[in-house]
Each structure stands twice: as structure tokens, then as C-alpha cells.
């Protein structure tokens, strides 16, 4: 009985250590309750919550404050975390050049922390993939996976971290397309195996979305539709408007490729309603452009487009980026 209690105590201590490590990876390893480090930790937490709700301007301010607080005490780990968070905001706004610069700086200063360095490599790979730098993106994603694979995969937290990195690798492979599709499918299967039963909803949604993108890459919109529908269901349940909008736009792509213009317009109008509530004007302009191509135009939409174009300037004339998820 005593042996069982001792084993249970060790398990609780292990879980507590894992939780502490996870919090450090997301918000910075701060134990203080006052001072710049504690302020930076709180700013990162607040920014993560704002980002999840699609409040990108507020999130950028919170993450920027965390970056400034970390700089005052020369905390390289805190700076790297804040830079990665800011890169995520930039990516959500399609400001990929700035996202790339911040992710590159995070990779440079996070080399002392293997887990954080792996996260930075994965983030950089995602941005490179969105910019069309597919060879660099795939190489970086592979390196991120290899750094995590050295951990004992019998431990669930390590397996989940490896699955996260494999999901990023699958993302870069799907984006590259062509002969990478078969490997992408294999990597997605590996990620699902490492997540195991009871994968986090965010992970399940990301995998579903990537399966849908893979099917679209193979010109199989009917096969892609259920995957995107599943991702949409999960993202709605999680209250993630950024991902919900992307799922809706992907479902519109499925309808377009199936010859269902009315269905595509319906999905895009729903996506536009979500975009109108969050700070992503470039994507909203692209969505309106797709609606116009389908012959859908109302005075309300035209008025909204004029406002959005005044906010994004030349970005309104740029071709829309593919509807893909940025991890």
C-alpha cells in the first residue's frame, strides 16, 4: 500500500513538473510574482488569450509589452517567447516578412533551450512555407522534429510535443505539394499515433484541416469537405475565430472546385462575417474578391470592401493566399 502511495506521489510530482514546463514554453519560465519577469509572463498570458479570441491588436500590444519587459532584464528566453508570439500575430495578418524576421531572431536567441529552439524552428518553417520557401521550410521542420525525437517517447508529454512538430512538418509538405504528398500522409499518420487517444481539440482540428488540404492538393474536393467540416466543428467549440474563418474559406474552395458556386458563396459570406469581427483586413479583402468573382455583390459588401481597402492599401491588389492553417 505504501509502495502504491509512493508511486502515486511520484506521478503527481511528474505531472506538476510537466505542467510547469508547458507553462514556461508558452509564457516564459517565470517564478516571480513582481518585477519585469512577472510582468512579461502576465503579458504573454493575456496576449495568448486575446490572440485566441481574434483580438490581434490587443494581443500585439500585450506581446510587445512582454518583449520590452524581457529586454529590461536581458532575459533571452522571455524575449524568444515574446518574439514567437508576435510572429504568430504577424502571420495571422499575412504580414509574412515581419513574421519571418521575428521568428528568425527567436531561433537565434533560443539556441540555449532545446525545447524553445525546436518551437522557434517550427514557427520559422511555417512562415517560410507560407512565403513559398518550401525547401528551407521542410528542412527546418525536419530539424525541429529531430530535436524533439531525442526525448523518451514513452512519456506522453514528449510524444505530444513530437506530434506537434510532426504536424508542422506535414504542413510544410502539404504546402510544397507535388511529390511530397505521400510523405505528408505518412507524417500525419505518425503525428496521430504520437497524439494517441484523447488528442487535444486543437491538435485534432489541425490534423483534420491538413487532411483536407492534402485531399484538395490531390484535386479531391469531395474527400476534403468532411475533413474541413470536422475542423470547423472543433474550432467553433474552442472559440477560435481565426481558425473558424480559415475553415469556412476552405469549405468554400471545396464547393468551388465541385462546381457549386452558390455553396461557395454561402461559405464565403459566413467567413466574411467572422473576418469582420477580427483584425484580419487582408484576408477579408481576399474573401470579398472571391465573392465578386462569383458574382456576389451587395451595397453592404461594397461598402465594407472600401473600408478594408483603405486599411490595407496595396495589399488589396495582391492575390489571396491559400486558405491554410499557420501553426
Q: Cell numbers of 304, please? A: 465594407
The residues spanned by each domain of the chain are 200-327
Q: Whole-model pTM above 0.85?
A: no
Q: Cell numbers of 149, please? A: 525525437
Q: Could you report the per-residue pLDDT of 275-290, keeping only the tens digit for each?
A: 888 878 888 888 888 8
Q: What is the pLDDT of residue 252?
A: 96
Average pLDDT of the residues in 80-99 = 94
Domain 200-327 has CATH 1.25.40.10: yes
Q: What is the pLDDT of residue 293?
A: 85
Distance CA 212, CA 171 (A): 11
Q: What is the pLDDT of residue 6?
A: 53
Distance CA 244, CA 27 (A): 24
Distance CA 120, CA 136 (A): 14
DSSP label at residue 313: G
Encode burial over 258-287: b for 16+ CB neighbours within 10 A, e otherwise: eeeeebbbbbbbbbbebbeebbbbbbbbbb
Distance CA 38, CA 29 (A): 9
Average pLDDT of the residues in 291-305 = 73
Amino acid at each position: 500500500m505504501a509502495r502504491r502511495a509512493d508511486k502515486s506521489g511520484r506521478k503527481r510530482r511528474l505531472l506538476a513538473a510537466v505542467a510547469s514546463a508547458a507553462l514556461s514554453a508558452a509564457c516564459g519560465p517565470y517564478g516571480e510574482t513582481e518585477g519585469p519577469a512577472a510582468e512579461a509572463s502576465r503579458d504573454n498570458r493575456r496576449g495568448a488569450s486575446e490572440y485566441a479570441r481574434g483580438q490581434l491588436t490587443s494581443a500585439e500590444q500585450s506581446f510587445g509589452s512582454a518583449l520590452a519587459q524581457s529586454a529590461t532584464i536581458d532575459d533571452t528566453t522571455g524575449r524568444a517567447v515574446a518574439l514567437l508570439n508576435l510572429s504568430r500575430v504577424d502571420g495571422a495578418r499575412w504580414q509574412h516578412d515581419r513574421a519571418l524576421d521575428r521568428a528568425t531572431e527567436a531561433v537565434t536567441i533560443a539556441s540555449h533551450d532545446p525545447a524553445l529552439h525546436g518551437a522557434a524552428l517550427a514557427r520559422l518553417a511555417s512562415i517560410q512555407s507560407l512565403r513559398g520557401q518550401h525547401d528551407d521550410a521542410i528542412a527546418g521542420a525536419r530539424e525541429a522534429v529531430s530535436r524533439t525525437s531525442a526525448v523518451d517517447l514513452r512519456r506522453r508529454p514528449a510524444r505530444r510535443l513530437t506530434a506537434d512538430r510532426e504536424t508542422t512538418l506535414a504542413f510544410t509538405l502539404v504546402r510544397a505539394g507535388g511529390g511530397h504528398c505521400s510523405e505528408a500522409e505518412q507524417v500525419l499518420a505518425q503525428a496521430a499515433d504520437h497524439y494517441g487517444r484523447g488528442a487535444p481539440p486543437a491538435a485534432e482540428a489541425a490534423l483534420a484541416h491538413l487532411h483536407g488540404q492534402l485531399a484538395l492538393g490531390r484535386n479531391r474536393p469531395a474527400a476534403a469537405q468532411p475533413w474541413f467540416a470536422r475542423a470547423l466543428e472543433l474550432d467553433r467549440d474552442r472559440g477560435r475565430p481565426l481558425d473558424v474563418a480559415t475553415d469556412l474559406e476552405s469549405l468554400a474552395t471545396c464547393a468551388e472546385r465541385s462546381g457549386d458556386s452558390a455553396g461557395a458563396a454561402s461559405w464565403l459570406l459566413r467567413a466574411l462575417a467572422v473576418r469582420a469581427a477580427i483584425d484580419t483586413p487582408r484576408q477579408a479583402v481576399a474573401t470579398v474578391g472571391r465573392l465578386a468573382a462569383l458574382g456576389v455583390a451587395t451595397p453592404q459588401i461594397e461598402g465594407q470592401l472600401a473600408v478594408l481597402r483603405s486599411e490595407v492599401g496595396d495589399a488589396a491588389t495582391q492575390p489571396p493566399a491559400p486558405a491554410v492553417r499557420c501553426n
